[in-house]
Chains A and B, each alone.
Chain A
Amino acid sequence: MEPTELERIARQIRLRDLQAVYEAGAGHIGGEMSVIDILTALYFRVLRVWPDQPKHPERDRFVLSKGHTACALYVTLAKRGFIPEEEISTFLQPHSRLNGHPNNNKVPGVETNTGPLGHGLPVAVGMAKAAKLSGAKYHTYVITGDGEMQEGSNWEAIMAAAQFGLDNLTLVIDHNRFQQGAALADTNDLAPLRPKLEAFGWEVTEINGNAMSEVVPALEHRSSRPHCIVAHTNKGHGISFMQDRVDWHHKVPSKEQYDLAVAELSEAI
């Protein structure tokens, strides 16, 4: 699938995500808007997956470590055929399988449960290591938030991945420069990320993570070492009044804001 087609799908996913958060009255819209281009590229171009066989042994593994942006994953999985698209309207409803963080026991396509930050990367290292042990050809992808990289568990996993020579592992850091309560720069600034990852033995690519033409080749790149994509993104990307505003980490739009956001996203389609 070509970048322009992927961009069109990403916009549709943004719109559905916005609607779901608005209707549920909760969600993490800022980090969803920043990561949707990467999710779209993965599910509609890069990942070898079979929605009708979600446990296919040769499937590429994907872990959304920033599990608070589950709604974006649900919408993407639905669009790709893992779950019915109508089911998105049950997001956060009593007894829905679509709760605020993905549940692998209930939602096909989810590999492992995330929500507490700093869990996805160690599990992804295990998945990649398992492929090395068994000779399986699948590739493992994991997306973390940039604030999430403050968790020490990530750095333990980064060391392990280099030591194990995991050339079958790609880490994407959604570098939107904001965490829950403030900018990273005002909390615990990790930037620049590239030299830190390089010092730990990883190959690093820096891209505009909201530009499909840069996202796709970076995800398809194969390295002789574990590969980290530092994806420079905008929190709230695509909705002008949300972009780079920390309060949109988990704010819910009012009716007027919702209409405005729908108009902005629709214009782009």
Chain B
Amino acid sequence: MNAPVSTAKLHDCRDAFAATLEKLAENDETIVAVCNDSVGSSKLGGFKSKFPDRLVNVGIAEQNMVGVGAGLANGGRLAFVCGASPFLTGRALEQIKADISYSNANVKLVGISSGMAYGELGPTHHSIEDFAWTRALPNLPVIAPCDRIETAAAVEWAASYDGPCFLRLSRVGVPDLLPANHKFELGKANLLRDGSDVTLIANGTLTHRMMKAAEILAGQGISARVLNLATVRPIDEEAIIAAAHETGAIVTAEEHTIFGGLGSAVAEVIVEHAPIPMKRLGVPGVFAPTGSAEFLLDEFGMRPASIAEAAVTVIKRK
């Protein structure tokens, strides 16, 4: 029923996150990991066995977890606060606002299994509002890497950055897209494929679907640009405005509700600086039915072929 979107080898970005964190922690003894009974799901087992004293498991208590992270930062620790994204961001949103972003605590929030990674576990476990919630907060870079290379680079960047940030990770396998030596730059989109008829913008688990869609479009004689926009805030206005001027149409896709996420962020730039036809793909403001993450992305019109169709429609509106 669901043909695999990619035939390339797929990787769970949590592994790159965990390996990078362990590597950094070997050279920086201030690094601690904070979690909520999520050692397994956050892939912190290796960290725990290497640095048992630096794994702070508060139990099933997300508000406490984020507050404790802020206190650890105050005491000079470099805290990576890791938990399933729906509970980390949803349950502890006020702690994230008051203790982390407003208090400028040097805490790295790591939302695991974001989007619809928990598929069949249902809407309570889907984290398709987290861009909207976190993007509304000042002083909190919001980053959703598209592959294991960008994940590792973003974790390294986060450790060196003096201030809070939110890394939004998935567990759904994605192929390698960026070059092995990729360096993460906050607020910079990556041009993965150039084109002149339309620009496809995505991040996280959707970027590789956009690449497939661009291939399909190429087969129809349509030249699609693909931008990987890992940083949702601060957003790369320059790349978006250039895409608007140079290609005249934009399609966004995200594993998130279309209300307030990546598509909304791009639309805000477009409306103010370069109004052109645009289509936002994502979860259309509903609670998802039962199904796996891949199934649901297909259901919600984010199969590469459906993305290509959306692109054709938006190009016609030019």
How many A-B pairs have beta carbons closer than 8 Å: the answer is 87
A99 within 8 A of B: yes
Shortest beta-carbon distance from A147 to chain B in Å:
5
B60 within 8 A of A: yes
Known contacts A100-B120, A103-B122, A180-B37; is-contact A95 B61 (Cβ 8 Å): no
| Interface size in chain B (residues, C-beta < 8 A) | 28
Q: Is the CB of B60 within 8 A of A96?
A: no
B40 within 8 A of A: yes
Shortest beta-carbon distance from A191 to chain B in Å:
13
Q: Is the CB of A113 within 8 A of B37?
A: no
A101 within 8 A of B: yes
Chain A residue at smallest Cβ distance from B84: A116
Shortest beta-carbon distance from A29 to chain B in Å:
15
B285 within 8 A of A: no
List B276-317 residues whose CB lies under 8 Å from chain A. Answer: 289-292, 295
Q: How far is the CA of A67 from the CA of B60 in the complex (A)?
A: 14
Q: How far is the CA of A151 from the CA of B40 in the complex (A)?
A: 19
B124 within 8 A of A: yes
A92 within 8 A of B: yes
One of B60, B61, B122, B290 near A115 (C-beta < 8 A):
B122
B144 within 8 A of A: no
Q: How far is the CA of A153 from the CA of B13 in the complex (A)?
A: 32
Known contacts A116-B86, A116-B91; is-contact A101 B124 (Cβ 8 Å): yes
Q: Is the CB of B87 within 8 A of A116?
A: yes
Q: How far is the CA of A96 from the CA of B291 in the complex (A)?
A: 8
One of B57, B60, B63, B122 near A101 (C-beta < 8 A):
B122
Q: How far is the CA of A96 from the CA of B39 in the complex (A)?
A: 30
One of A94, A115, A151 near B121 (C-beta < 8 A):
A115
Q: Is the CB of B290 within 8 A of A181?
A: no
Taking CB atoms, residues of chain A closer than 8 Å to B90 are: 116
Q: Is the CB of B290 within 8 A of A67?
A: no
Taking CB atoms, residues of chain B closer than 8 Å to A24 are: 120
Q: Is the CB of B124 within 8 A of A113?
A: yes
Q: Is the CB of B120 within 8 A of A150?
A: no
Shortest beta-carbon distance from B317 to chain A in Å:
32
| Interface size in chain A (residues, C-beta < 8 A) | 33
Shortest beta-carbon distance from B18 to chain A in Å:
15
Known contacts A92-B120, A180-B38; is-contact A101 B125 (Cβ 8 Å): yes
Q: Is the CB of A181 within 8 A of B40?
A: yes
Shortest beta-carbon distance from A55 to chain B in Å:
21
Taking CB atoms, residues of chain B closer than 8 Å to A113 are: 124
Q: Is the CB of B61 within 8 A of A150?
A: yes
B103 within 8 A of A: no
Shortest beta-carbon distance from A196 to chain B in Å:
15
Known contacts A99-B120, A180-B37; is-contact A94 B59 (Cβ 8 Å): no
Q: Is the CB of B290 within 8 A of A99?
A: yes
Chain A residue at smallest Cβ distance from B2: A94
Q: How far is the CA of A238 from the CA of B59 in the complex (A)?
A: 27
List A93-152 residues whose CB lies under 8 Å from chain B. Answer: 93-101, 103, 113-118, 147-148, 150-152
Q: Is the CB of A187 within 8 A of B57?
A: yes
A266 within 8 A of B: no
Shortest beta-carbon distance from A153 to chain B in Å:
8
Q: How far is the CA of A93 from the CA of B289 in the complex (A)?
A: 10
B58 within 8 A of A: yes
Taking CB atoms, residues of chain B closer than 8 Å to A95 are: 289-291
Interface of A toward B, CB cutoff 8 Å: 24, 26, 67-68, 92-101, 103, 113-118, 147-148, 150-152, 179-182, 184, 187-188
Going nearest first, the 3 A-B pairs with the smallest beta carbon separation are A188-B59, A115-B124, A100-B121
Given contacts A26-B120, A99-B121, A180-B60, 5 further A-B contacts (CB under 8 A): A95-B291, A100-B125, A116-B90, A150-B59, A187-B57
Interface of B toward A, CB cutoff 8 Å: 37-41, 57-61, 63-64, 86-87, 90-91, 118, 120-125, 289-292, 295
17 contacts between A and B (CB under 8 A): A94-B289, A94-B291, A95-B291, A113-B124, A114-B124, A116-B86, A116-B87, A148-B60, A150-B37, A152-B61, A152-B64, A180-B40, A180-B60, A181-B38, A181-B40, A187-B57, A188-B61
